[in-house]
Amino acid sequence: MLPHKQIESALQAAVRGALSDADVSAVLVRPCDPKFGDYQSNALMSLAKARKLNPRQLAIDVLAKLEVSAVCEKVEIAGAGFLNFRLKDAALTETLQSAANGAHLFFDKADRPKTVVVDFSSPNVAKPMHVGHIRSTGIGDALQRTLRLLGHQVISDNHIGDWGTQFGKLLLGWKQILNRAELERDAIAELERLYKVINTDCDANPARLEEAKSELVKLQAGDAGNTAIWKEMIALSQKQFDTIYGRLGVQFDFTLGESFYNPWLGAVVADLLTRGIARESEGAVGVFSDGSVPPKEDVFLVNRDGEWVPDPALVRKSDGGFNYTTTDLATIDYRLKTWSPDEIVYVVDDRQSSHFKKLFATFARWQPDAAKKVKLVHVGFGKIMGDDGKPFKTRSGDTVKLGDLLDEAEERALKIVAEKSPELPETQRQEIARVIGLGAVKYADLLPNRQSDYIFSWNKMLALQGNTAPYLQYAYARIKSIFRKAETGNLKAEIKLAANEELTLAKHLLNFGLTLEAVAEELRPNYLCNYLFELAGKFTSFYENCPVLKAGDEATRNARLALCGLTAQVLKQGLEALGIEVVEQM
Ligand code: ARG
């Protein structure tokens, strides 16, 4: 067992000894400021508060029962009741040794694996994927990878938008103005054109709108011809989505689009009506406030000019069509019945936060027992901005297509590689540029706190210095070049830690698992980005201060090489958890 886990379980046992009724699942240790120690726990303070105990006294009682002397120096009580732990050097060395021997890479599989549905990417059919889709796709993929690495069962589901009123206009366009050659050249662009032309027509001419509506009604009624065209539109769009997913290395277990849930929507609304959860209003059906919570906390109310007014979750339109929320309710129901997940995680733009609040609240009213068994989480994120402070656009003011963005990333990276390493053969330079370009874009998106907007900057994300993917990829390649020069590298050498820089690096390696757990717990990949950036920094100061290949003696050289090897492995594994590749040479 890794030291932090040993400390945690000993601490939990001691807390149970001191407070027999305590729920110890929240008794955790976290890395802390080296001034105080290596790990810290703040759990005693909330336990004491809940019981009106003096936290310092509780800490003294727990300490009396705590047995961690195998891995820690004397445990200290600090401040209002923090516990500070400092690892014994021997425990540190031993953990590095077992990692060097291949027993682990500083993380354990979860004791209690969860089943988690990750709903991410979810583009809409007949529309190109644009720069904004990198957010849901990249964050969702990093989360599914990290959760899987920790042994959780993940079901990734691409909830594509393949149903809705837009298909009336698309069908009309397909039948009247389709350009087959253009469809073959770039299907989504042609579909987008059809939609735009017909949409303009419809705005100007109510008769056209009626025509489009009747195409939609035919589709909804299962008309064979319209269904066939609709299916072709989905297949053509999916082909382009798949090209992008292939480039990004993103995989889904399922692609169950909105249309998959059509058969259940009528029953969902009927059930909501019978149970008195939804009601009719102006011909539509919606879920309204039930007055059970104060207005400020009520997701079915909004404040307009100082007054609280209804903001219902609509589930049926006045024309009988169903809403986004109806589909999402049927989707939760299906997912629970099919996979019994512990959690469903939605990686979707923060602009939909009110939708998800109402959705989760509606589901809790509709199926209270099922709702208690599942955690529904909206993993929201902010916008990508241009350096003019407005949403990121092309020079001509259009949305940036994701495919074009990835092309540009690779082209820009190729220029950098050609300058840095002109001696490498062309095909190798291209492969390096692909890995660096895509890595740079993904990492720049994962690094900020996901709820913040960030400014898209090619120069910043492609820089070899600073908190960027190329910097981390370069750190990895540099370690690999040490091994190429070393020729022999006994990775299983005996670990010795003496210099401060060696100890600091070793302790940071130990925090890899805790970082992965924090990412999985709080659904924030940026923790891992920052961890890896610090790792590369600590490696650099180690490498600058502790000669590796020119170490004084064979044993030191081998021990330091082993430390290099472990750093490289963690960099590679960490980047992989973010969906970012490495190259052996740059
Ligand atoms: N297709 C939607 C959009 O582009 C996102 C779907 C997100 N997932 C969900 N279950 N609502 O806005």
Residue-wise pLDDT tens digits, 388-442 = 889 999 988 899 999 999 999 999 999 999 999 999 999 999 999 999 999 999 9
Question: Cα(345)–Cα(377) distance, rounded to whole angstroms?
Answer: 5
Whether pLDDT at 477 is above 90: yes
Question: Cα(118)–Cα(213) distance, rounded to whole angstroms?
Answer: 34
Q: What confidence tier does 488 reach under pLDDT thresholds 50, 70, 90?
A: low
The three-state (H, E, C) secondary structure of 507-569, written as one string: HHHHCHHHHHHHHHHHCCCHHHHHHHHHHHHHHHHHHHHCCCCCCCCHHHHHHHHHHHHHHHH
Q: What is the pLDDT of residue 69?
A: 95
Whether pLDDT at 358 is above 90: yes
Q: Which atom of ligand 1 is nearest to the CA of 356?
A: 11
Q: What are phi and psi of 156, to 5 degrees?
A: -95, 135
Whether pLDDT at 489 is above 60: no
Largest CA distance in the chain: 88
Same domain, 454 and 317: no
Q: What is the pLDDT of residue 326?
A: 98
Same domain, 458 and 479: yes
Sequence-distant (6+) residues with CB within 8 A of 439 are 469, 470, 473, 575, 580, 581
Local structure of residue 297 (DSSP, 8 states): G
Q: Give residue 425's domain range.
A: 402-577
Residue 97 forms part of a structural domain: no
Q: Ligand 1: which residue has its CA nearest to atom 6?
A: 122
Same domain, 183 and 280: no
Q: What is the pLDDT of residue 490?
A: 61
Q: Quote the ligand 1 centre to 283 CA distance (angstroms).
A: 26
Alpha helices in 205-261 (DSSP H): 206-220, 224-248
Same domain, 303 and 406: no
Cα 26 to the chain's mean position, in Å? 23
Question: Cα(413)–Cα(583) distance, rounded to whole angstroms?
Answer: 13
Same domain, 175 and 317: no
User: Best substitution site from 124, 159, 324 to test ligand 1's pocket, by max atoms within 8 Å of Cβ?
Assistant: 159
Q: What is the CATH number of the domain that holds 503?
A: 1.10.730.10
Residue 196 forms part of a structural domain: yes
Q: Which atom of ligand 1 is nearest to the CA of 352?
A: 12
Residue 303 forms part of a structural domain: yes
Q: What is the pLDDT of residue 491?
A: 62
Residue 305 forms part of a structural domain: yes
Same domain, 204 and 72: no
Residue 119 Cβ contacting ligand 1 at under 6 Å: yes
Q: What is the pLDDT of residue 552?
A: 87
Do 315 and 326 form a contact (C-beta atoms < 8 A)?
yes
Q: What confidence tier does 493 reach under pLDDT thresholds 50, 70, 90?
A: confident
Residue-wise pLDDT tens digits, 330-350 = 999 999 999 999 999 999 999
Residue 348 Cβ contacting ligand 1 at under 6 Å: yes
Q: How many structural domains comprise the chain?
A: 4
Q: Ligand 1: which residue has its CA nearest to atom 9?
A: 159
Q: What is the CATH number of the domain that holds 69?
A: 3.30.1360.70
Q: What confidence tier does 487 reach under pLDDT thresholds 50, 70, 90?
A: confident
Residue 277 forms part of a structural domain: yes
Q: What is the pLDDT of residue 168?
A: 96
Among residues 203, 220, 250, which one ends one of the domains?
A: 250
Residue 101 forms part of a structural domain: no
Local structure of residue 490 (DSSP, 8 states): -
